Structure 1
Amino acid sequence: MKFSINRDTLLPPLQQIVSVIEKKQTMPILSNVLMVIDADTLTLTGTDLEIQIVSRLAVIGAQPGAITLPARKFLDICRLLPPNTEIRIEQHDDMVKLATSRSRFSLSCLPAENYPEFAESQMENSFQIGAGKLKKALEKTMFCMANQDVRYYLNGLLLHISNNALKLVASDGHRLAIYEDALETPTGLEARIIVPRKGVQELSRLLDDSDAQLQVSFSSNHIKVAVHNSVFSAKLVDSKYPDFGKVFQQAFLPPLAIQKPLLREALTRASILANEKFRGVTFRFAADLLHINAHNPEHEEAEEELPITYGGDEFSISFNAQYMLDAVSNLDADTAELTIASNLSSCFINEPEQQTYKFIVMPMRL
């Protein structure tokens, strides 16, 4: 194997691939990046056997071959080289030489034939979507995914396709985010799949060009997303996402509109004195005023008052301050609309006259 490539061409796909590779591996070769040269095309592959990213780049002066290199060492060398440096890469037995006009490196390598194959099933379904549209949908929901929850189906994100309707749902059991949008082209599909947490995070990082058009393919247990010269693949969570529709089937109090900047700033200030473990704040709704209170075991207290239009009976309800901040910060409009269930079992946060994004927070006891 022998080829030359510009450092600025190699670095972005290499960074994307290395982010997939786990630092601690049971198989040493999984810490490596697979490099294959075929007909002036360099194919880079990185995987943890659950997620895989493959990138293809044009190279010059190429001699065919395949090898695996220590991914993080290779990345660090490329990252610290000066911009626009031309890198010459050549294999010598079980070593690979990297050379520039002023630098020389030798890296140990492992045989490409030992690199594990990422087994994929036949992709029966596919649709197209703009990268900007999908990235926005992911950013509005992914922060709600659970992390290492025993209910493993919550450690991921539900992707629901219904013809030309796209819905993304994420929940950790205490809060839930729903983002709905329309696809430009009808798909004729009706499918619900759960993309794992790490897969969602890596896919979001990959979508750095909002104008790109994505080809999304999936089966019952795999998803594949092609963007430019890269292909992202991931195993799906083999489970059924819980039915969250029941939360809508209850009586609600009239919606309460609050200026988003005022609410966000008040929550941020009040949360400073909230209990560090539970992060609880209490919303007390009175005549045309919202009182936000927080206190902690050191007997410190905070109270904020916000003007609202409310003429009903006085009541109080408590929430995790960070959950409320996450919801409010993800609204695009300047007004946040809070709709609280009559039995105080849940609170909806969304934008007035805009139902694309909904955020639901379950109350807490203080």
Structure 2
Amino acid sequence: MNIQISRGELLSALQSVIGVVERRQSLPILGNLLLEAKDDRLSLTGTDLELQVERMVRVQNLAPGRITAPARKLHDICRGLPEGAMLSLEYADNKLTLKSGRSRFALATLPAEEFPVFSTDPTDVQLELSNRELKDLLARTQFAMAQQDVRYYLNGLLLEIRPGRLRTVATDGHRLAMAELNRELSAKKDTQVILPRKTVIELQRLLDVSDAPVKLSLTSNQIQVDLEDLRLTSKLIEGRFPDYERVIPEDSDKIIKCGRLKVRAALSRAAILSNEKFRGVRLTLEADTLRIQTQNPEQEEAEEEVEIEYNGAPLEIGFNVSYLLDALDAIEGEEFIFKLRSPDASGLIHDAAQASGKFVVMPMRL
């Protein structure tokens, strides 16, 4: 293999795939990237055996070939070179030599044949949407995923496909986030799959806010996401996601309309003096007034009052303030609706202008 490429193009490609490479590896080969030069293209592939990312970049190809090289060393060397530099990568005598100007680096390699590449199964479902649409669906729900929960199916995000609708749902058992895209999609088959947490985070990082197309291909145990010059392939989480529609409150009789930024700012200030472990906040509802109160073991207290639209019966209820802030951050509109029923019933938050995103928060005793 012998190629020439600009420092900027190689660094961009390396940054696309480096996120999948774990710093601590059970197998040495997993710390490497697979580099394959063919025609006028170089493909770079990284994997952790559960997730694989492949990026294509144009190069001047003097001699085709394939080899694996240390991912982070290659990335750090490239990042440290001056902007606008031209690089050459040449493999010979079990070394990958990178040259740029007067700089020269010889990296140890491992055979390409040892690199574990995902097999591709027949596709069951395909659909296409834009970068912007998929990124928005993930952003509005990914924060509610569980972390290292024994209920492994909660450590991911549900992707649900129905005729004319695509939903993402995440829950950690204490809160739930749901986002929805309502339009006709190319997929004709009802499908539910659970994406692993790391896959969701990597997708969120790789997607942009453009209208460029993204193609999703689903098999019985994998999802493949194709962007313009990048392909992400991931195993799916096996298991059955909870019946999330059952936990979305439908009979709330106390409905509040609030300014999102105003309430968010008041919650943020009050949270400074909340209990650092439990993060509890007490909300007291009265006519057109929301009172927010927190206290901590040091006997410190905070109280905020916010003007709202509310004419129901008085109510006092406790929540985890971090959960409320996360839900408000996922709403784009200037006003939101907060639906409540009683001190021991879940609250429902959604944008006042449209309810394509819903956020359910369990109450807590204070």
TM-score tier, shorter chain, comes to over 0.9
Q: 2: CA distance between counterparts of 1:305 and 1:364?
A: 21
CA distance change for structure 1 residues 310 and 235 in 2, over 3 Å: closer, same or farther? same
Unaligned runs of 5+ in 2: none
Aligned to 2:52: 52
Q: Secondary structure at the match of 1:3?
A: strand
Name the stretch that deviates more: 7-16 or 24-33. Answer: 7-16
CA shift, 1:342, in A, is 4.2
Provide the residue aligned with 1:206 in structure 2: 206
Q: Secondary structure at 2:231's aligned position in 1? A: strand
Given that 1:158 and 1:195 are in contact with CA atoms closer than 8 Å, whether structure 2 keeps it comes out as: yes
What letter matches 1:361 in structure 2?
Answer: V
Aligned 8 A contact 2:249 2:348 in 1 = no
- State the distance in 1 between where 2:210 and 2:140 align: 15
State the partner residue of 2:156: 156
**Match status 1:68 vs 2:53:** no
Correspondences of 1:264-303 after superposition (within 5 Å): 264-303=264-303
| Partner Cα distance (1:36, 1:248) in 2 | 49
The CA deviation at 1:301 is 0.5
**What's the counterpart of residue 242 of structure 1?**
242
Q: Please state how far the C-alpha of 1:345 moved relative to its aligned partner.
A: 1.2
Helix, strand or coil at the partner of 1:74:
helix
Are the counterparts in 1 of residues 37 and 61 from structure 2 also a CA contact under 8 Å?
no
Q: Mapping of 1:120-135 within 5 angstroms?
A: 120-135=120-135
Question: Is structure 2 residue 333 aligned with structure 1 residue 333?
Answer: yes
What amino acid is the match of 1:214? V
Give secondary structure in 2 for the equivalent of 1:195: strand
Deviations 1:66-92 (A, max 9, x none): 111100000001111112211011112
Aligned length: 366
Q: How does 1:189-268 map to 2 (within 5 A)?
A: 189-208=189-208, 210-248=210-248, 250-268=250-268
Separation of aligned partners in 1, 2:168 and 2:312: 35
**Which structure 1 segments of 5+ residues have no match?**
none
Whether contact under 8 Å (1:164, 1:187) holds in the other structure is no
- Regions of 4+ moved over 4 Å: none
Farther-moved stretch of structure 1 (23-32 vs 252-261): 252-261
Q: CA deviation at 1:188?
A: 1.3
The question of whether the paired residues in 2 share the 8 Å contact of 1:164 and 1:186 is answered with: no
Cα distance in 2 for partners of 1:309, 1:99 equals: 66
Residue 55 and residue 186 in structure 1: after superposition, are their counterparts in 2 closer, same or farther (change >3 A)?
closer
Q: Give 1:118 deviation, angstroms.
A: 1.9
C-alpha distance in 2 between matches for 1:129 and 1:325: 29
Cα drift, residue 183 of structure 1: 3.7
Q: Percent identity?
A: 43
1:90-126 residue CA offsets vs partner (Å, 9 max, x unmatched): 1121111100112111111111111123234222210
Please identify, of 38-47 and 131-140, the stretch whose mean Cα deviation from structure 2 is larger.
Answer: 38-47
Asked if 2 retains the 8 angstrom alpha-carbon contact of 1:250 and 1:341, the reply is: no
Q: Is the 8 A contact 1:282 1:294 kept in 2?
A: yes
Amino acid corresponding to residue 143 of structure 2 in structure 1: F
CA distance in 2, matches of 1:103, 1:248: 60
Write the letter of the residue equivalent to 2:27: M
> Aligned residue for 1:12?
12
Whichever residue aligns with residue 171 of structure 1, its letter is T
TM-score, normalised to structure 1, is: 0.97
SS at 2:90's partner residue? Answer: strand
Amino acid at match of 1:170: A
> Residue 145 of structure 1 aligns with which residue?
145
RMSD over aligned CA atoms reads 1.4
3-state SS of paired residue (1:303)? strand
